[in-house]
Structure 1
Amino acid sequence: MSTLAEQLGDFATESAKNGVPDDVAASVQQRVLDVLGLCVAAHRLPTSAAAVAHVLDQGGHQQATAVGLTTKVTAAQAAFANGVLAHSLDYDDTHLPSVLHPSASVVPAALAAAEHVGATGEQVVRAIAVGLEVAVRLGMAGYDEQLGNSVFFEHGQHATSITGAMGSAVAASLLYGSDPVHALGLTASMASGVIEANRTGGTVKRLHCGLAAQAGVTAAQLVGRGFTGPPTVLEGRFGFFEAWLHGQFFPTAVTDGLGTAWSVPGIFFKPYPANHFTHTTVDAGRAFRERGVTPEQVASVVVGVAGATARTIGEPIEVKRAPETGYQAQFSGPFAFAAGLLGGGGLGTGLDDYTDALAQDAGRRALMAKVAVVADAECDAIYPFQFPAVVTLTTTAGDVLVEKVLTNRGGPARPLSDDELTTKFRDNVAGRLDDAAADAVRRAAADLRHAADVTTLLSPLSKEFRA
């Protein structure tokens, strides 16, 4: 009987040879545009400048494009740089209930490998589709329905970078012509990610998808040079699932419907540049604004969310009510409510609505001081298939108003249209790409399946972007 890695390898090679469903391919093209927009936008961050400078210091052959560099770098370093950029703003897509951000590693890995070898657009679309599917299925193998959470997260592990490295390796292997089973076998020794920074600070999380993409490309290249991995790398006694999940995994999540039931189109796009747990609270704030509620009329607000969500966006409440930086504001329930009520750019709130200045703004802090974040039973029953919010607002006149937002915008229940994704892309590249270059990237992504290679897609991004 085939091992899990061998079954994934058969799925990968079959999909690379015979193609993927049209809705899957269309979704991949949307995700490529989304990721590239995020890569441009992330150049505003000092950590991005540090990552790009690090890549330049490595030298090596000019093989692939790192967004924001005028000279090409090695494929592995391009994957690293673009993976860091794609994940740094917490604006990249999310799969639920595994709570993975798969595109931020798989897309950079596949684009770097594709550019290195001159792959066609159709080849890279198929590779990305397969890589995303592998990442999601490995993530879901660690999702415990009884627990209602990912076992990866219970162990302090960042499943995004761990399974993202594995998906990146499969995607890159298809483009390099390497054996995907061996690529999985190598990458299992390279995948990692610890999520403690979400609790107590640090910018290391921004590196995770870059390291995952780099690992995937490197593994595929090493397989091409003769390195091999164990076929039982996933379920073996000393394999991936034992090492990460202590043997507590669900193999049917890897194999059931493999090749027929695709997860890719159901991955949630992020409409707002903040932790995904905060998005329905932003929506509730926007709904109150549309009802005519002003900040001056707010006496108190109770944001009800799933208990697991409350720990991230509501604790400690004193910190969440007074974030010092825009990055901290991205993880604050009180700030999310204020951002929605006050309104912003992009698709409701944009990158310019999460700045250090706004985090410290006296008016916003006065509003945030009125917001409590609590666990809500109705939300607990839905989480983690959605990140719902039930928000109760009491006005200074004594009126009690309620807004329930039980599904996330950007997911299958409330999908973003192509026009909305274009708006997000334009917002992300504004001030860094001129209109002609932005249109060129958008058109190239929308028609990627028919492209001879990825040159037209990536060449407008080979320029220096100021912070």
Structure 2
Amino acid sequence: MTTLAQQLATFAATSVKDGVPDDVSLSVRRRVLDVLGLCVAAHRLPTSRAAADHVADQGGRAEATAIGVARPVPATGAAFVNGVLAHSLDYDDTHLPSVLHPSASVIPAALAAGEAAGAHGRDVVSAIAAGLEIAIRLGMAGYDHELGNSVYFEHGQHATSICGAMGSAAAAALLYGLGEQGVLDALGVTASFAGGIIEANRTGGTVKRLHCGWAAQSGVSAAQLVRRGFTGPPTVLEGRFGLFRSFLRDQVDLAAVTDGLGSTWAVPGIFFKPYPANHFTHAAIDAGLLLRADGAPADPELVESIELRVPSAVIRTIGEPIDVKRAPVTGYQAQFSGPFAVVTGLLGGSGLGAGLDDFTDDLAGDPLRRALMAKVSVVPDAACDEIFPYQFPATVVVHGTDGQRWRAEVTTNRGGPDRPLSDAELGVKFTDNTRDRLTGEVAATARDTALALHTVADLGTLLRPLTRFTD
């Protein structure tokens, strides 16, 4: 019998050989634009400089471009740096209900391997599409419909980095020209590299920013090792000691890996993020914006209490420990705070409604925000539970000290298929992410080139201009 990994390898190789559907290709190109903007924006973080300096210190062959790094670096290093950058602002796209952020690892891996191999943009687009689809399907294999949550997350595992490493490996193997067998072996090798735990979401630490970089690097490294002769087990997924048994135990949906493979694509349905925060907080921001427009007070003296009603499963991420979530110390912690999200909406944000300037260390400690956050309770809501995790809904209720009550309900996420971001809105996000870093001319050229990636013969024409910042 053909194993699951063999079926995925056949699908991946066919995707590059025959190309992918037009809507899948367009979706990939829009995601490349999104990721590149995130990589530029993330250079404001100390952890981003640390990742870039770490790779620069390693030396090695000049093969690929790390965004914001002047000299080319080894492909594995470029994949690592760009993966760290892409995920560091929690502004990267999300697939539901698997709750994966697939583009932040697969796209950096594919761009690095593709540039190093001299691949045409057409093949890069197809390889990214295959890698994203594989990552999503492996994530969905761990989604428990009765539980309404990912089994990976229930075990404290970061599904994004685990499944992202596998998708990255497939994309990289394709671009190195390893074919179907090479993809199979790369999947088998990468499974031994995949990992990541999510405790930092709860109590702090910046290690999560490394996860997509490590996943992208793992995928490229595996492909390079396969090119040199390493092999992997064909039963790497469903085998007795394979990835699913190791990570998911017996809570696995094997059909999710292969049902409709090659005919039904999940890629176009991945949610873009309009706001630079954990996706569980987005409906809270939207609700806060609606309440602001409705005249709800944002003066702590006029607010008696605020209820943030959300799906039960997300409270541990954005509502616990409540004392920490009401008083984030850094902008990074604020990205995982339900109370901060509500207050950001109530006070009104930048960009598409809440932008990078709204998640800073200074604003995390702002006395006005702290006073309002102290009044926010994060509670489970049965109606939200019925919708989650196909959407991340929220209802916010503000009780005024004068007895008035304001209520806003948000049941669908902006940026998803039900409320898609337009090309113009994605352009606003890209411009906001690259302002003060790229000149208007460079940013416009990068935007146009990314959206036409399927016609680009040399990836360097897209990537090299993104190494020179204006500051």
Please state which band the TM-score falls in when normalised by the shorter chain.
over 0.9
- Contact conserved, 1:43 with 1:465, CA < 8 A, in 2? no
How many Å apart are 1:464 and its aligned residue?
5.0
- Contact conserved, 1:177 with 1:224, CA < 8 A, in 2? no
- Contact conserved, 2:135 with 2:163, CA < 8 A, in 1? yes
What residue is the counterpart of 2:285 in the other structure?
282
Q: Secondary structure at the match of 2:309?
A: strand
**1 CA distance for matches of 2:469 and 2:453?**
24
Q: Secondary structure at the match of 2:399?
A: strand
- Show CA shifts across 1:63-87 (max 9, x none): 0000011100000110000000100
Map 1:25-424 → 2, pairs under 5 A: 25-178=25-178, 179-296=182-299, 297-424=302-429
- Contact conserved, 2:296 with 2:406, CA < 8 A, in 1? no
**1 CA distance for matches of 2:72 and 2:321?**
44
The residue type equivalent to 2:286 in the other structure is D
How many Å apart are 1:316 and its aligned residue?
1.9
Q: Which 4+ runs in 1 deviate beyond 4 A? A: none
The residue type equivalent to 1:49 in the other structure is R
Structure-1-length-normalised TM-score: 0.98
**1 CA distance for matches of 2:316 and 2:200?**
14
The residue type equivalent to 1:255 in the other structure is T
The residue type equivalent to 2:77 in the other structure is Q
The residue type equivalent to 2:193 in the other structure is M
**1 CA distance for matches of 2:461 and 2:314?**
41
What residue is the counterpart of 1:461 in the other structure?
466
- Contact conserved, 2:284 with 2:308, CA < 8 A, in 1? yes
Count of residue pairs brought into register by the alignment: 466
Map 1:415-454 → 2, pairs under 5 A: 415-454=420-459
**2 CA distance for matches of 1:396 and 1:195?**
39
Q: Secondary structure at the match of 1:302?
A: strand
How many Å apart are 1:140 and its aligned residue?
0.4
| Stretch deviating more after TM superposition (327-336 or 290-299) | 290-299
Structure-2-length-normalised TM-score: 0.97
**1 CA distance for matches of 2:195 and 2:120?**
31
- Contact conserved, 1:173 with 1:180, CA < 8 A, in 2? yes
**2 CA distance for matches of 1:190 and 1:170?**
14
- Contact conserved, 2:157 with 2:198, CA < 8 A, in 1? yes
- Contact conserved, 1:70 with 1:464, CA < 8 A, in 2? no
**2 CA distance for matches of 1:351 and 1:295?**
21
How many Å apart are 1:465 and its aligned residue?
7.1
CA 1:374–1:433: 2 relative to 1, 3 Å? same
The residue type equivalent to 2:34 in the other structure is D
**1 CA distance for matches of 2:49 and 2:335?**
21
**Unaligned stretches of 5+ residues in structure 2:** none
- Show CA shifts across 1:67-125 (max 9, x none): 01110000011000000010011111111111111000000000001100111111100
The residue type equivalent to 1:240 in the other structure is L
- Contact conserved, 1:131 with 1:169, CA < 8 A, in 2? yes
**1 CA distance for matches of 2:85 and 2:365?**
25
Across the aligned residues of Structure 1 and Structure 2, the Cα RMSD in angstroms comes to 1.1
- Contact conserved, 1:110 with 1:175, CA < 8 A, in 2? yes
CA 1:316–1:304: 2 relative to 1, 3 Å? same
How many Å apart are 1:427 and its aligned residue?
0.5
How many Å apart are 1:370 and its aligned residue?
1.7
| Stretch deviating more after TM superposition (365-374 or 11-20) | 365-374
